[in-house]
Amino acid sequence: MAAGDPFYRSLDDLEQALDANARRMAQIKRRIAEIRRQRAAGRSYREIVEGAKGDLSVQLITEATQALDEVGARVRRTEALALYRDGMTMEEIAEKFGVTRQRVSALLRDAERESSRNGDRAQPPRSERAAARRG
């Protein structure tokens, strides 16, 4: 099931991004402690930054937010598509997501485009499949 399920795959990607961000947050906390230690020793911020080894906190924060933005957008798109394919209306999805129906329409359009690029088999919503079977 997971192999052809874009939402399931996006959850895997989200989990990996969260793990990477946990490592970044640990680095940031170490960096904060180091900055405080050096400031207490009388060093200027300039001296601290110029002598820093590794990424600065601001770089790590940027990487963390970019990773979540990218993966989070994919999760939103694929979850909207999964819910739509399971028979929820755009209005129902919009209410659950706290967005407009027009935003859901755009998410679905982008998700369908991404799905077809990735070779995922598109399925109509369950309500449409059920109607086709009935008649």
Q: pLDDT of 120-132, one tens digit each? A: 654 544 544 444 4
For residue range 46-91, list pLDDT tens digits in order: 999 999 988 899 999 999 999 999 999 999 999 999 999 999 999 9
Structural domain contains residue 124? no
Under 8 Å between Cβ of 93 and 18: no
Would the pLDDT of 9 be above 90?
yes
**What pLDDT does 1 receive?**
53
Under 8 Å between Cβ of 107 and 67: no
Look at residues 90, 115, 92, 113 and name the one whose alpha carbon lies nearest to residue 103.
90
Structural domain contains residue 131? no
Distance CA 5, CA 35 (A): 45
Q: Which domain holds residue 21?
A: 2-118
Structural domain contains residue 123? no
Structural domain contains residue 125? no
pTM: 0.75
Structural domain contains residue 132? no
Structural domain contains residue 65? yes
Structural domain contains residue 126? no
Domain count, the chain: 1
3 state SS of 88? coil
Distance CA 51, CA 79 (A): 45
Structural domain contains residue 134? no
Share of the chain above pLDDT 90, in %: 76
**Rg for the chain (alpha carbons), in Å?**
22
